[in-house]
Structure 1
Amino acid sequence: MNPSARKKFNAGFTKKKYGQFLDKLNQGLHTPVQFRVAETPVLLTADFRDRLIAAGNDIIATILQPDFKELTERAIPDKWRVANENDHPHFIALDFGICKDDVGNIVPKLIELQGFPSLYGFQVLLGDTYKEIFDIADNETIFFNGLNRYEYLALLKRTIVGDYKPEEVVLMDVNAPEQKTVIDFYLTQKYLNIPVISLSDLIQHSTNLFYKTDDGAEQQIRRIYNRLIFDEIDNDPQIFDKVVDIRQALDVEWITHPNWFYRVSKFTMPFLKGDYIPKTQFLHKVDLIPADLENYVLKPLFSFAGQGVIIDVTLDDIRSIKDPENWILQEKVNYEPVVQAPDGGVKAEIRLLYLWPNGDETPTLAINLARLSRGKMIGVRYNKDFDWVGGTIAFMPC
């Protein structure tokens, strides 16, 4: 991490300034931010930024393989397979823990990946607010590939709206106003002028979908910016008796198609190789169980937000799993507490966020998301009652 930038930031930090930061962040929003935002951004060196980019390039190369769909066909649960899949994910998110290698270098290590949107709208506001309140230098940026704020939002619009009219594109989630990330939905609406709707708002006529506008008219939907994860409706087997069954062949484009959530996921990890990839195997293909299980974690393939992960693995845990084909055994990644808070080091994770609009041959690394943790795992539920933890963003040299 960048020691000089960190020293300057910490010297100027006060709780009062953090309060001003939160007030500014929430100013004029549709609803206040519903998750904890950290006191600090992550401040990267150019060297670590380049390591992140290289690590991401290795993973993207696997996703670009001609046989990637064939490799990941089993990843999609039959009950959640959606018709009319396209040829690439429009969003890719790669999560890297910040670690230390055997010779003491600070390096990224892949934790998870997903072919699904993240906080592409909120991170812009977050970066703007950190920069303003904490006087982040002008030669520091949250964007990659030389993008500035205007160019980033243009790329986001090209990815999500494309050639359609904004009113023909909807951001959809199961119960959109009730999601913890709803702030991202409304900021995306502000930036792109697209409506935010819930799954229950969909109206079907033949193979076409519509939603009701504020004046009660029915507007046809050409594209769905999909924020719905099927895990959220898995506990309701009759869900599609009450709402439109979005799995059927419909005359609508998915941005991104729901099948990519499964294809680019933990399922992909056993196919990845490289210096920044922890050794990962499908559990049913493990010929010899490692003697040092304390250095591994067990992860269910089909879970969300860290649910079901077994951190302190035992032989009995492995033997008790009834469906080993749906689990991975992954080398444990040990986070290095590289972010210096006033009372010691804090662990950090960086999410690289890619955009892949139709017509582009490859995805573009565009922006980032970061999370700080003092708990056993990254995530809100593991960091209650701590400070200098939560959602944030990384700044790096332009």
Structure 2
Amino acid sequence: MTEKPSIQLLHPGAAGANLHVPRLALPELPPLSLYIHIPWCVRKCPYCDFNSHQAGPELPEEAYVDALLADLDEELGAVLGRPISSIFFGGGTPSLFSADALGRLLRGVEQRIAFAADIEITLEANPGTFEQDKFKAYRQTGINRLSIGVQSFQPAKLEKLGRIHNGDEAIRAAGMARAAGFDNFNMDLMHGLPDQSLDDALGDLQQAIDLGPTHLSWYQLTVEPNTVFWNQPPELPEDDILWDIQEAGQALMAQNGFQQYEVSAYAQPDRAARHNLNYWRFGDFIGIGAGAHGKLSFPDGRILRTWKTRLPKDYLNPAKPYKAGEKLLPVDELPFEFLMNALRLTHGVEADLFTRRTGLPLEQLAKARREAEQKGLLQVEPDRLAATPRGQLFLNDLLQYFLT
């Protein structure tokens, strides 16, 4: 999935909290989103640790859409008739699916659960899958936002990343997106690539800016376990170069009207990704599809995380369940769970959101807040929970204060 760069996070413990705090009713239920995972790609990239699988000659579109809707049917009893405010098609490469298949899926979803009037519906797409007529048809289904996985415009870098597109295709993709009626689209870029210089990184970023996206996801390549790069590590830039790239890239985006609102997300005014904002503000989301994750809150204060069967062949097997597991979040883990999302946001969140999302009193964070503030990692703002610039750089260190 693009727009969701990985970050190494600590495992939650008691989050600095009283282990005997009772679970309280929530004053309100959070907004609800829908994540739909389509797990197939043309080719698995060597850096990718997402649940993606190389596609065969034919995709089982019809069977997979049927399975997605049946999976959603099993979730409906837990969402209490709430409307969904955003939908995100992630993968994999969702744009491998036809507009007919995605249109049938969206119609089926809307028959089961109400759409907010201003719903944001995002489709991840790779430049190597762009076809003008296909993307016009996507727009006609109701999809109103694209996330284009560019990563780089430079041939040598794209080859090392195992991408199936070239720089010219990436440039044309932006024009085709606009011509198809998408006036709101993200471009996904990596920096810190093998043998990448400061000029290389800024050249990629300037090229993306010149194409007129409304949103940029710009994040450093990290080598993750269970990837080709983990077993065959590439030579990455030195730390000093990485730091120079980070500082210069942020300055370039600010000069061009892109405001950083999350660790790796930059948007033009009023164009922040609403779906991802819901994640970071500890909202609820249904997850359907192979390997999809979900989070649902209940009025009595219970918060449930779920995950689905990972392998497509198992997900499509009618003899096997869609849900692979679930976990009711213990009360003592809620502070960590909330803050590991909220503190990714550049300006954090209003302090009372903690109580609205977890049902716990804000005073439960008091001791850890004071300690983090004294270390210069958390802003001294009574009405907000926000990391300092240093706290954003050392987010794991900041989160440590909310563990025991």
Shared fold (TM-score, shorter chain, > 0.5): no
- The structure that is helix-richer by fraction is 2
The TM-score with structure 2 as length reference comes to 0.30
Structure 1 length normalisation: TM-score?
A: 0.30
